[in-house]
Chains A and B, each alone.
Chain A
Amino acid sequence: MKKQIVKNKRKTKKPNIIVLSGYGLNCEEETKFAFELAGGVAQIVHINDLVVKPTLLDTCDILAFPGGFSFGDDTGSGKAFANKIRNHLSLELHEFLSRDTLCIGICNGFQILTNLGILSGALTHNSGGRYIDRWVDLKVTGKSPWLKGIKNISLPIAHGEGKYIVDTKTYKNLKKSNQVAFVYEKGPICKFQNLDLNPNGAMYNIAGVLSKNGRVLGMMPHPERNIFFHQSPLWQKEKEILKRKGKSTAKLSNLNGDSLKIFKNAIEYFTK
């Protein structure tokens, strides 16, 4: 029996979010936390449980492929996990994306989405040949519900295979249809620690891309790691400035970081 495809997004006060887990994905807890902090209801679902019960996607508004090391990057980052989805959930995922839903792939999740062909391009070994954890500055260049009202943002990256590869033709199309979500740029963090703007040799400095309809976002940087003020490399300096202005630092531990906005945008897509 063919399921009915709902075309319009669900209007709800509390959107349902599924954060996938299993086989070495490892950022599911903090990604869930970020969505909940932004006002959603998130549950972590093991990929094998979704295979057994794909109807879970029927009531899901936002699907997140979190960061991690699915299958240890063996056979190429994101490949083995993508194969698993292709073998078992191809149709269901297609149906989910056909509805007016949102989807995000972060880091390893982005690698999975490109391997699935849901997002254009591919990700491969960093030019430096090494895994790297540092912060980057991003300029928002795409159009998407995820990115509403954000112009620039600084986030951490942590990956070995984050170099974005795309052919010229596809790139032109991506650019034309506002599907390049972010590009690396020289911003406050690069200036602060004297770092190269592009950490991995990504073509055209691309850090994230969107699906044609803007509802699927894939990005190498980790938005769930900048949900608190104290996570930025600049926070000690900024705290000192606050102190000298005579401002209270009592609530600093709960002060939110810039990227909560990305998660809030996703929630507000359904609530507003």
Chain B
Amino acid sequence: MISRLYILPKIKDSREKIYMASWRALGIKGKVSSVQILDSYTIDSDLEDADLQKIGRLFSNPNIEEFFLNELPSKIKFKNAIEIGFLPGVTDNIGNTALETLYDFFQVDKNTNWKVYTSKIFLIKGSLTKIDLEKIVFSLHNPLIESSAIINNGSLSIKVPKVILETKELVKKVSLKVSDEELEKIGKEGILDENGRRGPLALDLDSMKVIQKYFFELGRDPTDIEIESLAQTWSEHCKHTIFANPIDEITDGLYRTYIKGSTKIIRQKKGKEDFCVSVFSDNSGAIDFDDEYLITHKVETHNSPSALDPFGGAITGIGGVNRDAIGFGKGAKPIANTFGFCVGNPNDTRSLYKGKNKTQKMLPTKRILDGVVKGINVGGNCSGIPTVSGFIKYEDRYRGKPLVFAGTIGIIPKKINGKNSYEKEAQVDDYVVMVGGRVGADGIHGATFSSVTMDSNSPATAVQIGDPITQKKLSDALVKEARDMDLYNSITDNGAGGLSCSVAEMAKECGGAEVHIEKIPLKYEGLTPWEIWISESQERMTLAVPKKKWEVFKKLMDSRGVEATIIGEFNNSGKCIVYNNDKKIMDISMDFLHDGLPEKDLKTTYIQKIYKEPQLPKNSNRTKLFEKLVGELNIGSFAYISEQYDHEVQSSSVLKPISGEGRINTDAQVLKPLLNSKKGAVVSSSLYPFYGDISTYDMSACAIDTAIRNIICAGGDLNTLALLDNFCWCSSNEEFRLGQLKDAVKACYDYSIGYNTPFISGKDSMFNDFKGYDENENSIKISIPPTLLISAISVTNDISKTISPEFKEAGDCIYLLGDTDQELGASEYYRMLANEAKDIELIGNNVPKVDWKKNSLIYNLVQSAISKELLSSAISIHSGGLAIALAKSCVGGMIGAKISLKDFYGNAVSPDEKIFSESQGRILVSIDPKKAKIFEKHFSNISCKKIGNVSKDKKVVVLETNNKKFIDTDIVKLKKAYHRFSNTQ
């Protein structure tokens, strides 16, 4: 029986105002006079009305809400209404909680086949046309995951989004005795079904031929699950083939040679001082925190799903990387999240379509931005993990495919029950146990999807929605209890490729596994074995549980509301075998599964493009330009994001994402993960995608240098600093793009060795291209600029030494450390001028170069100065140069400054060069004048120049060499410019 509960607010609903405001932008201004929002629960059960009335009381708070069963009261009159619900099979978290509440209230068995579906109903008053309502509907929902209904006759009807899957052939034999052409097609578009191709396997012809040969030699046709499984394990997403394959003269590939290679050299060089504990081998990388603990870090990208469903993409991104902490070693506790978004310009109103004839419209950038911001909000906040660190970059070329970065830092004792916590090994005869959420059709072909360009064939099922509470229960039960009770031998995350990858990966530890697919708990009936095997349904971990510990483990999980199921056994058969009931449906040797992927020689070409040098404005007053630069999207505040993320949960906050009186965003954040220790973790990140247009080598070098410098400025330690890389590239089948990649990775090698800062973890995403149509129906390809995000983490011995970036006291002396050179290529200043001139080629060529020898000296001295408490503030100079560092220091402290451009170190000559150059290795500091003498002595061996003083008068003045005012403004104007975008979000 289907019943429905409507929950109505009795008081003024804050949400109404917000929705009304958001609809104003739709061009229906003044047409909506009021809106009322009802929450609806559609209940499929055998409960009587009297019981349903009781449920109404469970779902409403009588102080502020009232409920109605099946019908709205006569006092509510409306003509137009919009209902937004979920499509069948899409995770409905509220519905799931409601169902759990029912089970608990009526004390019935969880297998009772009741269902609860939620939806939101907007009763809208006003004179609205059908087109107006359609505009509102589009703004309210994402048709890939949500259903919508427009009601214009004043009466609501009930639709139940129950999943009904048609009966399909359970396991299909796939003949590979076909032409190369067909073989290629299978690899590209998927196995042929009754209803067409199943979707991308992302296997090229070479790979398909190897698979063909393998099964030919076995003398049988493969099953669909075997092919799908190979496609997952061999996907670019899982195997990182571009980084692994030989490239030009680098026979060992970029990853082994440059990334892993540099870490190996650094660790050897450090000897006893080596602080790396687990690098590149586990779900996260880990370094020493103190004698008893390790900290882990991992940063992931979740780009392709975020383009289609930004909220779902981002929330599963953060949830997924949380599991990289939980899945590290025996399970690390997540202690901080990081985020990063690269998106188009939010004011851009041009439309993009995946399909011809204006079909498959992409979401506008503003929707994407709002969606990804909200995804991290819900994912991070609900999990009780502080989201401490983040960034946003805006650039036109991200409008087809946005980038979403999500990182998680974890902490774990080095020894648990006398064993090294960072080592794990599934043992022969251990149960294969799946823990957490159930399996549905969500996320099928996620791994293969993210390994190709996004176009009209991109599968909608690749999108998933996260359920942070299921994961929180899972995380707490494992990391806070089962781990310390020694109840499992190994653990890993179910991420890309789902069980097919997690089981195969763990089976390596003991030499084989056998899984019974029919034992896997499902969200709904009707899934075929291959779908179950590769589904990327979220919130699941795979564990190796010794048989004798199963009972205790199962009991613990039950008592924590966490589902745990034995789905197979680990063995040493050398094979990965899957049964459906008693029928063997997959039987592939571990060797072939993991190492069968053919090597491919990659070739690169690299041609340096020459850009035009811009004409500088003739007059010598730069006040207006300076104020404008402060308000540029890539420079200004994103406080509105930082403050909607809980960055103080776990009570570990030391240096927050927002600092000072003027609330500036900090470049590094400090947290104290152990409440009874004074040690801290310092985190930062950096990226310069715009430099990559000129030189990807320098782009990498600058990102590394800046990530390190940000940490040093906050009080971090160069000797315990580790790096993480996230390469997001485009068109990685083109030699030019591979040439850019090779240069970028080479710089990672050179500079990590230079700074003695090892890489401990990394990830890549190689095909961030959009192929589709613009609003004039012209075919269009938009490739992101090659993007390398460098994240850094370091351990500080005493968090009380932490320094915030803003100026503190009037009269303090301001010093510039480091050399300022003529390095304005692709700088924020040049890019702003190029935008004004409407010529994107006008970005110059002098991109900053990094001298690590010189900079190391500076960083070591700053570090010791901070430990001696010599500094009052320190800010890293990066995008926007000295100008922006000065503006942020002033706005942060809400205090003025007067500086002179006289006698700078470095080859910068003109005032523009001095103030806007983005030369690396520079730090702007302020000090108590009483400490000037000892400070100057401390820095006597490096370029250290007193450039001015902090001033009481709230004015920000920059004098040219001849003492003429080059910039003359005040902090009120600067603060307004700095927060302009954020304040209007």
Contact = CB atoms under 8 A, between A and B. Distances in A.
Contacts of B660: 236
B936 interface: no
Contacts of B645: 131, 133
Interface string B784-824: 00000000000000111011101011000000000000000
B198 to A, nearest CB: 33
A77 to B, nearest CB: 9
A167 to B, nearest CB: 8
A148 interface: no
A59 interface: no
A30 B675 contact: yes
A158 B59 contact: no
A243 B384 contact: no
B648 A163 contact: no
B647 interface: yes
A58 interface: no
A249 to B, nearest CB: 6
A231 B270 CA distance: 35
A27 B98 contact: no
A237 B14 CA distance: 36
B18 interface: yes
Interface in B87-145: 93-94, 96-98, 100-101, 104-105
Contacts of A262: none
A187 interface: no
B97 A127 contact: no
A133 B648 contact: yes
B382 A80 contact: no
A249 B651 contact: no
Interface in A47-80: 48-49, 52, 67-69, 71-76, 79-80
A132 B639 CA distance: 11
B383 A26 contact: yes
B644 A130 contact: yes
B808 A240 contact: yes
A23 B104 contact: no
A133 B64 CA distance: 24
Interface string B624-645: 0000000000000000000111
B72 to A, nearest CB: 19
Contacts of B104: 83-84, 87-88
B476 interface: yes
Contacts of A249: 800, 869
Contact of B13 (A27, A75, A125): A125
B599 interface: no
B14 A29 contact: no
Given A49-B559, A133-B648, A249-B869, A74 B808 contact: no
A74 B468 contact: no
B775 to A, nearest CB: 31
A34 B650 CA distance: 11
Contacts of A254: 678
Contact of B472 (A26, A124, A125): A26
B709 interface: no
A219 to B, nearest CB: 15
A230 interface: yes
Contact of B11 (A29, A48, A165): A165
16 contacts: A24-B468, A30-B675, A52-B559, A69-B468, A72-B93, A73-B382, A74-B94, A79-B59, A80-B101, A125-B13, A160-B381, A230-B654, A236-B659, A243-B869, A243-B872, A249-B869
Given A48-B560, A253-B798, 5 more contacts: A69-B469, A74-B97, A80-B101, A129-B15, A233-B659
Interface of A: 21-24, 26-27, 29-30, 33-34, 46, 48-49, 52, 67-69, 71-76, 79-80, 83-84, 87-88, 114-115, 121-122, 124-134, 156, 158, 160, 163, 165-167, 192-194, 201, 222, 224-225, 227-228, 230-231, 233, 236-237, 239-240, 243-244, 249-254
Interface of B: 9, 11, 13-15, 17-18, 58-61, 63-65, 93-94, 96-98, 100-101, 104-105, 377-378, 381-384, 467-469, 472-473, 476, 559-561, 643-651, 653-654, 656, 659-661, 663, 672, 675-676, 678, 798-800, 802-804, 806, 808-809, 869, 872, 928, 930
